[in-house]
Chains A and B, each alone.
Chain A
């Protein structure tokens, strides 16, 4: 298993636990994600994934254990965490009745960029996506693939240390899907850590490393090829089902 060296970790989690009454949703999980790594965080419904992500994004306090995201503590520095992360969920990231440019400006503001910086980033982003002609188009009228690319660009407009993506390529055609993964790899090569959650194990195959949560704990962690080799199967889907099915 490849472990990133400590000084490069963008996310560092040690024995992180969260209980709700007598139910332990997340049970002493430990892992590290390197700067610029594309990390897949997988798990069945109810495995504790959402609870773990809420703690990592500063939305929920842990019961015990430690975690640092972008160097900030999840107990005491949640405000700083929120300023240093980006988030894109599969379909609800953009405002449909705002234009491309308005969405960019709105998110630039939400993420606390100066007006000057927003103007610069807005131009860069519109040019980079080839959307100059469409900058005053309502997002509602754009094809899904374009919305997803724009949503991703907006989620990293403030150059966050970590961007959280939820089923980023669900439902798009296979060419758009690959263009999207190339955008993700480009962001990662700029040093942005990409934290992907998904139900589609196909998407997991594109990650540098994946972890699989079962019943509140991390049941496996490694590169996709390591995990496939370890379980003697051909796909991450098979690895996943083998680990998660007894729990279902």
Chain B
């Protein structure tokens, strides 16, 4: 899959701003970014549901605009919003999606079996009455029932609980192992580690593209995790430190990034601990930290979203 300089506007809003990216066959690729970053627009273009204003995109070597009728049978798409027929049962939904593509549930049995086996006992339950996790598995079956070569999943884990979420990623790993190319979008940065490569997306542009394990190493500042002490006072003290680049809450800790590049993080940690102690925050301790994907994302973001104009 190759995307070259794709632009898409909606009125004054630029959803995709000359985006370029390639995805390899049998890769599990993640587009990671907040709501409004352009992820859904890109997936809709790749699944031939939207036409780009400029640039071009090829999926399986075919142009998404010119060759749409040849592409469509070969791709599976699981949109972000619930895409099933709520009044149809599990098996009726599946049969319907199979028939649309001129195939049958039996012909797809081997492809969907690992997933379908988990919801089969509810086969005659109306889709509307399924739990979030089960709906998601049914939607995945429906997207796979015509044996696509590429699978597009738009925010598949939004609104499902942590257990279903983990099971879902395990299913995707199995599907990938069978040779399927999978493109997934998510606003949840902690899901990046499940992908072979990820693109960090913000305001229609790709900020960074790399395997998840590599992304942290692209962080440009010495990073210190500070634990202990009153969170708000520690934050205020860190932001008053002369060499601060940024200081933000990170779960139970606070991540302090130093503006001095290439310095010794252990020395800076000691310096930070001393600075906090001087200000009466003796319980707070700084230790060198590994940058994660959120650190990198924040560092690469432009200024936070501008205040809305009057």
Bound Cα distance from A144 to B305, whole angstroms = 9
The minimal Cβ–Cβ distance linking A131 to chain B, given in whole angstroms, is: 7
Tell me which residues across on chain B come within 8 A of A143, comparing CB atoms: 36, 305-306, 308
Q: Which among A144, A170, A173, A199 has the greatest number of chain B C-beta atoms within 10 A? A: A173
Q: Name the B residues within 8 Å of A201 (CB-CB).
A: 162
Pick the most buried of B165, B251, B252: most chain A CB atoms within 10 A of its CB: B251
Question: Chain B's nearest CB lies how many Å from the CB of A160?
Answer: 20
Give residues of chain B (275-298) contacting chain A, Cβ–Cβ below 8 Å: 294, 297-298
- Least CB distance, A129 to chain B, in whole angstroms: 9
Contact of A45 among B133, B248, B297, B310 (CB under 8 A): B133
Contact of B163 among A44, A141, A145, A200 (CB under 8 A): A44
Q: A241 to B35, Cβ gap below 8 A?
A: no
Check: B101 CB closer than 8 A to any chain A CB.
Answer: no
Q: Are A202 and B310 in contact (CB under 8 A)?
A: no
- Asked if A75 lies at the interface with its beta carbon under 8 angstroms from chain B, I say no
A144 CA / B248 CA spacing, docked (Å): 20
Chain B nearest Cβ from A1, distance in angstroms? 16
Kindly supply a per-residue 1/0 record for chain B positions 298-310, scoring 1 wherever the CB is within 8 Å of any chain A CB and 0 otherwise.
Answer: 1001001111111
A223 CA to B308 CA, complexed, in Å: 37
B202–A173 CB distance below 8 A: yes
**Are A144 and B309 within 8 A (Cβ)?**
no
Contact B131 A133 (CB under 8 A): no
In angstroms, Cα B166 to Cα A235, docked, is 13
Would you call B73 an interface residue if the criterion is a C-beta within 8 Å of the partner chain's C-beta atoms? no
Asked if A176 lies at the interface with its beta carbon under 8 angstroms from chain B, I say yes
A39: shortest Cβ distance to chain B, in Å?
A: 14
Say if the beta carbon of B271 comes within 8 Å of chain A. no
> Is B148 an interface residue when CB atoms closer than 8 A count as contact?
no
Q: Is A102 an interface residue (CB 8 A)?
A: no
Which of the residues A142, A144, A179 comes within 8 Å of B34, measured between beta carbons? A144
Whether A175 contacts B308 by the Cβ 8 Å rule is no
**B211 on the interface (CB 8 Å rule)?**
no
Given A172-B35, A173-B305, A200-B188, check contact A185 B249 (CB 8 Å): yes
Q: Which residue of B lies closest to A133 (CB)?
A: B310
Q: Decide yes or no whether A225 CB sits under 8 A from chain B.
A: yes
A-side contacts of B167, CB under 8 Å: 248
Whether B159 sits at the interface, judged by CB under 8 Å, is: yes
Nearest opposing residue in chain A for B255, CB measure: A178
Instruction: Knowing A131-B307, A133-B310 are in contact, say whether A199-B165 is a contact too (CB < 8 A).
Output: yes
- Structural contact, B251 and A206, CB atoms closer than 8 A: yes
CA distance A186 to B233 in the complex (A): 11
Residues of B within 8 A of A170 (CB): 158, 187
Instruction: Knowing A205-B251, A225-B252 are in contact, say whether A146-B305 is a contact too (CB < 8 A).
Output: yes
Q: Does B106 interact with chain A (Cβ within 8 Å)?
A: no
Q: A205-B251, A240-B162 are in contact. Are A134 and B309 (CB under 8 A)?
A: yes
User: What mask results when residues 182 to 219 of chain A are scored 1 for a CB within 8 Å of chain B, else 0?
Assistant: 10011001000000000111100110000000000000
> In whole angstroms, what is the CA distance A194 to B303 when docked?
28
**Structural contact, B161 and A173, CB atoms closer than 8 A:** no
The answer, yes or no, to whether A46 is at the interface (CB within 8 Å) is yes
Residue A8 is within 8 A (CB to CB) of chain B in the complex: no
In the complex, are the beta carbons of A176 and B34 less than 8 A apart?
Answer: yes
Q: Verify if A232 is at the interface (C-beta below 8 Å from B).
A: no
Question: Chain A nearest CB: distance from B201 CB in Å?
Answer: 10
Q: How far is the CB of A98 from chain B (nearest CB, A)?
A: 14
A175 to chain B, nearest CB (A): 5
Contacts A44-B164, A206-B249 supplied; 13 other A-B pairs, CB < 8 Å:
A43-B161, A44-B162, A45-B132, A130-B307, A131-B308, A141-B308, A144-B36, A173-B34, A179-B304, A202-B189, A235-B190, A241-B162, A245-B163
Instruction: Give 14 pairs: A residue, B residue, CB < 8 Å, sorted on A.
Output: A44-B161, A134-B310, A143-B36, A173-B301, A174-B301, A176-B34, A178-B248, A179-B304, A185-B232, A199-B165, A235-B190, A240-B163, A241-B166, A248-B133
Residues of B at the A interface (CB closer than 8 Å) are 33-37, 131-133, 158-167, 187-190, 202, 231-232, 235, 248-252, 294, 297-298, 301, 304-310
User: Which 9 A-B residue pairings sit nearest by Cβ, starting from the closest?
Assistant: A205-B251, A173-B34, A171-B35, A133-B310, A178-B248, A44-B161, A143-B305, A134-B308, A174-B294
